[in-house]
Amino acid sequence: MKKIVVGADPFGFTVKEEVKKYLEGRGYEVLDVGTLDEEHPVDYYKVGSEVGKRISSGEYPQGIIFCGTGMGVNIVANKYKGVYCGLCESVMSARLCKIINNCNVLSIGGLFNGGYKAVQMVEAFLDAEFSIGFSEAAPEALQDGLKGVKEIEESIYGK
């Protein structure tokens, strides 16, 4: 079964719930790190950290995170080694963050995107493949770019 981790602060909660239903309908085993209900909010930095840890450790291969703008959870998740979180506001950017940058986490702003659009973004993200489907750059160039990013990451964090 495919696994994915999701999380949201209160501003992304409603959109996350719609996306979660979609993911379960696609057969994903979904770990929700919160906010789980309106009475028990989880701050954006805790959501970003919980998802970041699970991706960085290899426990989960990909994740979807939400907050009001998508920026807060994005900043925190990207602090973790091996996490490539793309903040996206369109279906095309969600697709291209995987194709061009090999993002393994998608960040969506709940204040700017409703459930329908967020589901379309998630679908585009999940269905995209790294370095395939972007005619403006050769797959090798995209792969070389990712290699360069990983080298920088190793110089900062070590292997």
Residues assigned a catalytic role: 67
CB contact set of 30 (below 8 Å; sequence gap of 6+): 4, 5, 6, 20, 23, 24
Residues 64, 6: contact at Cβ < 8 Å?
yes
Residue 116 has φ and ψ, to the nearest 5°, of -60, -50
Record the tokens describing residue 71, joined without a space: 């920026």
